[in-house]
Amino acid sequence: MKRKIWTIALTLFLGFGLLSSCAKNIIKINGEVHNTIEVGETFVDEGVTYPEKYSMVKSGAVNSFKLGTYELKYSIFTNEGELVKELYRFVNVVDTQKPVYTEAEPQTFYAGVPYTIYDFLDDYSDNYDKKSNLIVEPSEGFRFNEAGSKEVEITISDTSGNEAVFNKKIDVVLDFEILIDELYKEQTYKVSKGETGIGSYRVNVRIDSNTSFSYYDSGTVHFLKSFSSNLGTRASIQISGYYGNLDEATINYHISGTGNTYSVGFITFNATNDYETLTFSSFRSTINDLNLNEQDMLDEMNPRALGVLNEFKFYMGDTLGLLFK
């Protein structure tokens, strides 16, 4: 009798184990274990398959509007509350969409004038990131240092590494008057314009009390620096030439006397060279109302010449934003 009871118990135990094993084999996750969806896309949970009279408890949720990896857990229980199996699904919410932009209205671009990205793009945005979180390069904007055909490239990147690239070829125009008007729009008192006595048109900038820059519609540029002088009441160095041909510039040293008298010496030289020292031994020509000794004039001018040239180059490059050529 005891043996019979033991046999029945063993049979029931083995049967229960077999049923439990079969149930576990029936329990399976539907669809993929690892899922990837685009941010903002609706996630459809395909759930799990499990036997009747079993119950399932799901934990975890997917926020499809926030990037990240989400874990869903499915716990399968018997009616007696016994945990039979646990299944997991992983959902990766990603952003693979690059930012978008709208191009600005066409305009004329001028050499030396500073431009921002908004001179090329009307606006830009992203499907996920705030505008303030987007990276725009170049961040400092654009300034073209000479006329001609130029290529503009603007890259907009989101925090997921997606990039939108704006690329356009433009024609850059050089107009000294427009450039000066733009750069000195808050200091218009420094700029004067008008016809000269010989019928040309001049734009002049009073940089400071001793320094000025002038542009003539003939295409010449002039940089003038005044000094005190032991040879007259006042002296000045002026470097002049056609912009684009400053390798054939003129430097003159002008010394004022009383009334309208003066003496001036002229020298032709290559202003585009990078000089460590700049010393001249003679003038190409002179006007010498004051009957000054040429060497005395050179001796007073030479220590000042390189400094004026370097100021001229710095003004052209740093202030006007142009190549010195």
200 vs 180, 193, 196, 216, 220, CA distance in Å?
18, 11, 5, 7, 11
Residues 6+ apart with CB under 8 A from 175: 110
What lies within 8 Å, CB to CB, of 117 at 6+ separation is 136, 141, 154
Is 28 strand, coil or helix? strand
Instruction: Identify any residues that bridge with 166 across adjacent strands, giving them in sequence order.
Output: 154
Name the 3-class secondary structure at 194. Answer: strand
Name the pLDDT band for 8 (thresholds 50, 70, 90).
very low
CA triplet 40, 45, 47: central angle to 5 degrees? 170
Q: What is the pLDDT of residue 17?
A: 45
Question: Has residue 19 got a pLDDT over 80?
Answer: no
Q: Which of 52, 50, 54 is nearest to 80 (CA)?
A: 54
Contact 211, 311 (CB under 8 A): yes
**In angstroms, rounded to a whole number, what is the distance separating the alpha carbons of residues 203 and 63?**
64
Q: How confident is the model at residue 281 (pLDDT cuts 50, 70, 90)?
A: very high
pTM: 0.82
Confidence of residue 24 (pLDDT cuts 50, 70, 90): low
Label residue 11 by pLDDT band (50, 70, 90). very low
Residue 249 near residue 271 (C-beta atoms within 8 A): yes
The rounded mean pLDDT for the chain is 92
Nearest one of 187, 228, 191 to 206, comparing CA atoms: 191
pLDDT at 283 over 80: yes
Per residue in 146-193, pLDDT (tens digit) is 999 999 999 999 999 999 999 999 999 999 999 999 999 999 999 999
Mean pLDDT, rounded, for 246-274: 97
Q: Give the helix/strand (H/E) hosting 182.
A: helix 176-183
At 86-132, the pLDDT tens digits run 999 999 999 999 999 999 999 999 999 999 999 999 999 999 999 99
Handedness of CA 314, 319, 323, 325 (dihedral sign): negative
Question: For the segment 43-78, what is each residue's pLDDT rounded down to a tens digit?
Answer: 999 999 999 889 999 999 999 999 999 999 999 999
pLDDT of residue 4 exceeding 90, the answer is no
